[in-house]
Amino acid sequence: MSKVEQRYQAAKERYAAIGVDTDHALEKLKGVKISVHCWQGDDVKGFMNPDGELTGGIMATGNYPGAARTPKELRADLEKAFSLIPGKHKLNLHAIYVDTDEKVDLNEIEPKHFAPWVEWAREQGLGLDFNPTFFSHPMFKDNYTLASPDKEVRDFWVEHGKRTRKIAEYFGRELGQTSINNFWVPDGMKDNPIDRFTPRKRLMEALDEIFAEKLDEKYTREAVESKLFGLGAEAYTVGSHEFYMGYGITRGKLICLDAGHFHPTEMISGKLSSLALFGKGMMLHVSRPVRWDSDHVVLMDDELVEIGRELVRNDLLPHTHIGLDFFDATINRVAAWVVGTRNTQKAFLKAFLEPTAELKKLELENDFTSRMVITEELKDFPYSDVWNYFCEINSVPVGFDWFKEVKSYEKNVLLKR
Ligand code: RNT
Ligand code: ZN
């Protein structure tokens, strides 16, 4: 028996004593698929423009060496990251990540421009999710895309949106896993608008136009992602939380909550139970806000743990698509993926290792003392011994060992770019 397994057996006994079956928790964890975002690998540049500058709507900062410059490099980096993450997952692509020799614009993309991704995903046993790219483009005009007062601008982006649906449908059909196509639209204003209403009406109508054609939900489903404010849209974001709550519920779309898109003290964990009652399903962008900014690497903080608990305790995982969304260009990008993904998995494991039924019973009996004592004692339980065993049985490195591999990949591959 390996050391890791010995420790697992000891942990198993301790959890069994409070009515938790660790083997069952590991089974459950295995079923949790994370949609890993491609854009941490190259600071959201994509491969559509040769210089790939972020020119509006979104911003990444930092210049750590080794960013992927081609689809091939990005896939190599992703393979490295996935080899250090237990389980089988999905890759989340953005429209700017075309893989083709043809010069194509966002309003011209077709499934064939993504064929190498599909081939690779099939080989790797990964599903593919997708996102239209409503930023970093000359048609992002005066901070607007779909909400623009200029019909020519709107039409360009409507066409783009429609095309991404066909591409997501193609991913779903080819790979046999529903491809979630997530719409995030940065449109907004730097300073106080006079008219908040009309841009929202235009956004609603443009989205309706994009979604007019019915596609088979077996292959693709759409999500809509809100935001409170962003760089250059400090005073007003057209696609706010209320906007997309209404839109998603009335149009049967998944509602995407990004953990970094709310007021600094407003947490998405508290919203899941309500959304689950009224919406058609949820998508998460697991991320981390820091003061006014979002998109930091996911760390094991209280909110992450709470997100895991909410989804597990209320059995919401079947209705929730878990995606990651962060891009830090000041650190090793493969390490960023591994830390963020493994942390997200660990948060679910912590939740699976809770005696939930017992805690719910105590709560119903108004025994709030026991509720507090158990949840606090549980924080010191050896969940990491269970996690390490999960890594071992899934043939990925345990503990710091994964970082050694990233370091040598950095030395042998990334620093040579
Ligand atoms: C931006 C949104 C959005 C993007 C990606 C790249 O604030 O969170 O999800 O991060 O589309
Ligand atoms: Zn997001």
What are residue 341's DSSP bridge partners? Answer: none
Burial of 290-317, coded b for 16+ CB within 10 Å and e otherwise, reads eeeebbbbbeeeebbbbbbbbbbeeebb
Strands 254-258, 220-225: pairing is: parallel
Pinpoint the alpha helices (H) of 233-332: 241-251, 272-278, 302-313
131 lines ligand 1 (CB under 6 A): yes
Report the binding-site residues for Mn(2+). Answer: 261, 293, 295
Q: Does 89 participate in catalysis according to the annotation?
A: no
Which ligand 1 atom sits nearest the alpha carbon of residue 327?
A: 10
77 alpha carbon – ligand 2 mean position (Å): 21
Alpha helix segments (H runs only) across 314-364:
333-352, 356-364
Closest residue by Cα to atom 1, ligand 1, is 58
Mark whether 227 is an active-site residue.
Answer: yes
The one catalytic residue in 261, 321, 346, 350 is: 261
Q: State residue 58's pLDDT score.
A: 82
Is it the case that residue 247 has pLDDT exceeding 90?
yes
- Is the Cβ atom of 269 under 6 angstroms away from ligand 1? no
Which tens digit of pLDDT belongs to each residue from 54-66? 776 788 999 999 9
Q: Encode pLDDT of 20-60 as tens digits.
A: 999 999 999 999 999 999 999 999 999 998 776 777 678 89
Nearest Cα to Cα of residue 257 among 314, 325, 158, 208: 325
- Residue 293 designated active-site: yes
Task: Name the residue with the closest Cα to ligand 1, atom 5.
Answer: 325
Neighbours of 40 (CB within 10 A): 31
Active site residue 129: no
pLDDT of residue 200: 98
Q: Which of 253, 285, 321, 350 is catalytic?
A: 285
Q: How many CB atoms lie within 10 A of CB 197?
A: 9
Give the nearest ligand 1 atom to 44 CA: 6
Pick the CATH number of 32-353 from 1.10.10.10, 3.20.20.150, 3.90.1150.10, 3.40.190.80: 3.20.20.150
The per-residue pLDDT of the chain, averaged, comes to 97
